[in-house]
Every structure is written in C-alpha cells, then in structure tokens.
Structure 1
Amino acid sequence: MQYPFKLPHKIQNFSGEVIVFKERLIDQDGIEMMLIENEVAPGSGPPFHVHFLQDEYLKVVSGTMGYQFSGEREKIANPGEAALFKRGDVHRFWNAGDTPLRCEGWVKPANSLDFYLAAVYASMDKVGKHSGDPFDTAYLITRYRTEYDLMVIPAFVKRVVMPIIVSIGKILGKYKHFASAPAPLK
C-alpha cells in the first residue's frame, strides 16, 4: 500500500462500506481537514470506536443513519441532519434503513485517517471477516493506539496479545506492505 494516496481515493470493504477521501483543505483555523463521502449498506457500519485526536462530522445525504455515543441511547439522522463526533467520543454509526446510506462530511485534523482506514478495509477484505487479518489488525491497533481504538477488542488483548503478535509478524516478515505507513501521532 503506497502512501500518501492521490486524492480522491476510494476504499471499500466486503460488507458494503465505501469511503471516498475527496480532498485535504485548510479550514479557517489553519487546521488541515479531510473531506469525505461514504456509502453504507443496510445494517452495516463500524463498531464502537474512538478517534483520540480528530473530530468527525457526517451529514446524511440520503438514507437513514443510526448513531450512538457510548452509554447513551441510539439516535437517528435523516437527510439533511448531521452528527458530530468530537475527539475522544466513543461512538458508532450504521445504516438504519433499507436503502444505501450516503453521507458527506469531514475529519479534522486529517492526520493519517485515510491510511488507517484503507489498511483496515484491505485487511478485512484479505480474510473476508470484520476482524481482519490477525497480523494486520495487531499491527494497526498497536502502532496507532495513540490515535484510534476499537472497543470490540478486549483491553488485555490490545495490551498483551497484540504486541506479541506484532513481534511474531516482524520475525515472519508480515509487514512489508506497511513500509510507507505514516508515523503515529503522540
């Protein structure tokens, strides 16, 4: 996977999620933001996750988006409505309707989200499972732990098991496709 990507850059996974990273812009505060579009198949969407260093904004273009902050009730957004997930908010969203969900929005600062999600989607497609390839998943979760987290993975697995898997993966030469991976942010 050669990074940085030429924009626009489209990624998709086997479960019906598509993201288009449209362009990087500088906002009025001088912060680089990534403009995005996504399409999500009925019933699909990412599990509870968190962006520690980024805000994410999604506005529904068509379809119905379900979304939820950890510990709160589920909410619905219809066309024209939006959700803002601030850095540190544990959240999830999904297609809560019967037709494709289409959203547009942004993530800021842009950081390495395009690389991270492209790598996650490629790993999922490699094995045809949401959990992704075990070596890739361990590498991504361990390397980018200061930026992103998935709540579906137990803390013990992330702190103890995954670093062991990464060490084994390095010995076996499993990470050549991550040669151009951006450095994690602190």
Structure 2
Amino acid sequence: MTMQHPAKIVPKGHGPAIGVLGDRYRVLVTGEETGGQYAMVEAVIPPGGGPPPHIHSREEEGFYVLEGEVTFVIDDQKFVAGPGTFLNLPIGSLHYFTNRTEQPARMIFTMAPAGLEQMFLELGSPLLDGEMPEIPTEAEILRVIQACPRFGIEIVPPS
C-alpha cells in the first residue's frame, strides 16, 4: 500500500488556534493533510459557549469529551456528556452543544469527510497560546451565519 500523504505529529499545544463564536479551536489535522478523508480539531468551550442549532449536509461529526461537561442536543434527544463520552452524529442530524457549567470543557471532534475545518480557519480569529477568544460580536455572528451555506451548514433558529 502506498501512502497518499505524509504522517503528521502535532505536539501538545501546537497547531493553529482560532476563536470561532467565542470557542477556541486548535486544528490538529486538515483535509489537505489527510487526502480529504477527515479533519480533527481540539475545542475548548467556555461556560455558556457552543454553536447554535445546525445541520450538516456534507460531513459526519464525532465528539470525544476530554474534560468538563458538555450538553448536546441531537434531534429531539438531550444528553449531558462528561469525560470519556463519545458521540457520532450522522449527516443531517439537527444538533448543537452548550457548556452549561462554570468551568471550560475540552473535547476533540472529527469531521469526515474534511472541509468544515476550512470554515473555522477562514472565519476564526487567530489566538496566541492559551488565549481564549472574546465574546462574539453581532458582526462575527452574522459573518459566520452568512458563510454557513457555502460549507453545507443550515442554521436552525431555536423553536
């Protein structure tokens, strides 16, 4: 079997860190580096953080909680995920997650096939090592919402 791309090692704390809607994402591997098969991101979700309800039309997402607690809503199911919990969401799942605690939560998520990480890299604000993003402004929220259709994401207003 021939390798299609070189191996990649990302030491702790390395990789581009970006702020997206108040959450901190560190891109561990991109689709460019995996032949488009998948991308992987480490996320730090501050208290109250997390994305709005949305649906992906292109990729499955997998989430593995490393630290803290994250409340996921998947279609009509609500689930509180603590360290060691893994969730896999198929394409077309209405979902969102929120950190409802007073402490940051940290998790890894994968996207297969890759591509969504490019939205984070394009729209996010670069962060220094250990830096957390500011609370998102109305302009940032609008910019992300307007870009979502280009990346196959539908934002679903809360009912």
User: One fold, TM greater than 0.5?
Assistant: yes
Shift of 1:12: 0.8
- SS class of match (1:114): helix
Asked which structure has the greater RCO (Cα within 8 Å, sep 6+), the reply is 2
The aligned counterpart of 1:83 is 87
- For 1:120 and 1:92, the matched residues in 2 are separated by 19
- For 2:141 and 2:84, the matched residues in 1 are separated by 37
- SS class of match (1:132): helix
Change (3 A) 1:55 1:98: same
The aligned counterpart of 2:29 is 23
| Pairing partner for 2:140 from 119, 129, 132 | 132
Which string of whole-angstrom CA distances, capped at 9 and with x for unpartnered residues, describes residues 19-38 of structure 1?
11101464xxx861111100
Paired amino acid for 1:45: G
- For 1:114 and 1:88, the matched residues in 2 are separated by 18
Which string of whole-angstrom CA distances, capped at 9 and with x for unpartnered residues, describes residues 38-69 of structure 1?
00001110010111110111111000010001
- Could you list the structure 1 runs, at least 4 aligned residues long, displaced by more than 3 angstroms after superposition: 118-122, 136-139, 141-144
Equivalenced residue count is 136
Structure showing the higher strand proportion among its residues:
2
Paired amino acid for 1:110: A
- For 1:14 and 1:149, the matched residues in 2 are separated by 16
- For 2:72 and 2:96, the matched residues in 1 are separated by 6
Change (3 A) 1:130 1:51: farther
The aligned counterpart of 1:114 is 117
- SS class of match (2:117): helix
The aligned counterpart of 1:150 is 155
The aligned counterpart of 2:96 is 92
Which string of whole-angstrom CA distances, capped at 9 and with x for unpartnered residues, describes residues 97-142 of structure 1?
221100013111012x1221234445xx8x94256375x4575245
**TM-score (normalised: structure 1):** 0.62
Structure showing the higher helix proportion among its residues:
1
| Pairing partner for 2:67 from 47, 62, 66 | 62
Change (3 A) 1:138 1:78: closer
Can you give the 5+ residue segments of structure 1 that lack an aligned partner in the other structure? 1-6, 154-186
